[in-house]
Amino acid sequence: MDWGNVTTEDLIDALREVDWSSPPRPPSEFFSRFAVPRSYSKWNSRIKCNLYYYRTNYFILIVTVLILGFLRRPLAIVAAILTALSIAFLNDSFAGTFSEKVTRTVRRFSPHLAAKMRPSLTPVIRGRPSSKRAIYICGQPRWVFVLISSSACFFLWFLSAGLLNVLWALAIGLLVTILHASFRTPNLKARLNTFREEFRAVWRNYSDL
């Protein structure tokens, strides 16, 4: 698979749908083999491959930078966690796993309430769920949870007077991520068929032509 043919929209859709529960890559792998890309096409292909392959590492990196920037501000740390949660809700796999775990916990105390938290059945097209299906969390549309968590984190950022600081911390985290993805030589595992098939499963525009 040529990562140069993967558009930014395809990559975002794949990151939104892929399972994020896999553990991060070990530091010995994450911080090894750096090299300057030889051309723009090589850089374009490398950064997309690394952003997908090391997605969990980059997510942890950005959250860590945010938390380290606010060690003296507890409210800002809570706001950073809520910000990460708001972003995580946008991933289909995380939203489904979160909803299932909460529903199971509620079922222990109130089976009737847990039954109401079950999402409605999604339409099936050609043996697979519709690509345009709505994602529900605890029986409510996903945007409700994203809106609540986002509003809460903005309110806490305002109370902690750390909005400017979080912008700087976020900019630093994103800069480090882009630099790493640009200079880290793609791991051999990222080129194996098993890894490519994982991406193909969530890349709707993939074609063998």
Mean of per-residue pLDDT scores for the chain: 77
Are 11 and 162 in contact by the 8 Å Cβ rule? The answer is no
Phi and psi at residue 144, to the nearest 5° = -65, -45
User: Where does 54-122 have alpha helices with state H?
Assistant: 55-68, 74-88, 92-109, 111-116
Query: Using CA atoms, how far apart are residues 93 and 114, in angstroms rounded to an integer?
Result: 20
Are 69 and 166 in contact by the 8 Å Cβ rule? The answer is yes
CA distances from 32 to 112, 174, 187, 194 (A): 52, 19, 9, 22
pLDDT band per the 50, 70, 90 thresholds, residue 24: confident
pLDDT at 45: 84
Q: What is the mean pLDDT of residues 184-205?
A: 60
pLDDT digit string, tens, across residues 138-182 = 878 888 888 998 888 888 877 876 667 777 888 898 999 999 999
Query: Using CA atoms, how far apart are residues 204 and 157, in angstroms rounded to an integer?
Result: 37
pLDDT at 190: 58
pLDDT at residue 208 is higher than 80: no
Position with higher pLDDT, 200 vs 85: 85
pTM of the predicted protein model: 0.59
Phi and psi at residue 206, to the nearest 5° = -70, 140
Question: Could you tell me how far CA 66 lies from the centroid of its own chain?
Answer: 16
Give the percent of the chain with pLDDT over 90.
6
| Contacting residues for 15 by C-beta, under 8 A, at least 6 apart | 51, 52, 55, 91
pLDDT at residue 21 is higher than 50: yes
Q: What is the mean pLDDT of residues 43-63?
A: 87
Q: E strand or H helix at 27, and its extent?
A: helix 27-30
pLDDT at 179: 94
Using the CB atoms, write b or e for 25-37: b if 16+ within 10 Å: beeeebeeeeeee
pLDDT band per the 50, 70, 90 thresholds, residue 207: very low
CB atoms within 10 A of CB 155: 13
pLDDT band per the 50, 70, 90 thresholds, residue 122: low
